[in-house]
Amino acid sequence: MATVAAESLLTAEEYCQRPDSGYPEELVRGRVVRFGQPSRRHGQICVTISYILRSYVKPRDLGHVLSNDSGVITERNPDTVRGADVAFYSYARLAKGPLPATCGPEVPELIFEVLSPSDRWPKVLAKVAEYLEAGVSFVVVLDDERRSAQVFGADRTSRILSADDELTFPEILGDFRVAVRQFFD
């Protein structure tokens, strides 16, 4: 009788210590999953989000703004590590100073995800749910085609904002205010 070896699942720590594969990927329930290369427009919107957030956060000494699909551990046993487009961690959650090169157990308060043309809402909503279940306070999904932002809160609320609406997070970012259209300019 032949036996089949069980597939070895990676832990978050093993995944985060691997060398860069050169491809966009995430760890999903212990397995490495590759996905398509983001477009230049996607990168442009991510850099705009990062700039807007960092311009507010840095002078107020509030925390870290990370981008470039920095790993966020969303599930354990088996482990999942998602690559947030842009994330904000207060110093209460992630200590001030240079960050280690690996993933950590800390979760951000705020995550921005930018929809790609190939994204399908069921998968996007599953990722949003993972972030919220892991302890993220707010997840914002930006839709360039509709020039809108859908904001999901840990309290199970969600709202859709148009380009002319203002995005605020008084619970975590005080008086921060930005018109949604600014992310797409």
Q: pLDDT-derived band of residue 4, with 50, 70 and 90 as boundaries?
A: very low
Measured CA to CA, the distance from residue 129 to residue 33 in angstroms comes to 18
pLDDT in tens, 73-105: 999 999 999 999 999 999 999 999 999 888 899
Domain membership flag for residue 1: no
The tokens describing 141, both together, are: 């999904």
Q: What is the DSSP letter of 104?
A: -
The neighbour count for residue 179, using CB atoms within 10 Å, is: 15
- For residue 1, is pLDDT > 90? no
Domain count, the chain: 1
For residue 51, give both structure tokens: 């700039």
- Which amino acid type is present at position 50? S
Contact 83, 113 (CB under 8 A): no
The answer to the question of residue 143 being in a domain is yes
Q: How far is CA 2 from CA 5, 6, 7, 49, in A?
A: 10, 13, 16, 54
pLDDT tens-place string over residues 46-83: 999 999 999 999 999 999 999 988 899 999 999 999 99
pLDDT digits (tens, 9 = 90+) for 9-35: 999 999 999 988 888 899 999 999 998
Residue 3 belongs to a domain: no
Q: How far apart are CA 82 and CA 127, in angstroms?
A: 8
Q: What is the mean pLDDT of the chain?
A: 93
The confidence score (pLDDT) of residue 130 equals 96
CATH of the domain at 19: 3.90.1570.10
Handedness of CA 161, 148, 134, 51 (dihedral sign): negative
Residue 150 lies in a domain: yes
Residue 151 in domain: yes
The pLDDT-based confidence of 7 (bands split at 50, 70, 90) is low
Range of the domain at 52: 12-183
- To the question of pTM greater than 0.85 for the whole model, the response is yes
pLDDT (tens digit, 9 = 90+) per residue, 132-158?
Answer: 999 999 999 999 999 999 999 998 889
Asked whether residue 2 is assigned to any structural domain, the reply reads no
Q: Which residues contact 130 (CB under 8 A, 6 or more apart)?
A: 74, 75, 80, 82
> Is-contact 87 65, C-beta < 8 A?
yes
- DSSP-derived 3-state class of residue 46: helix
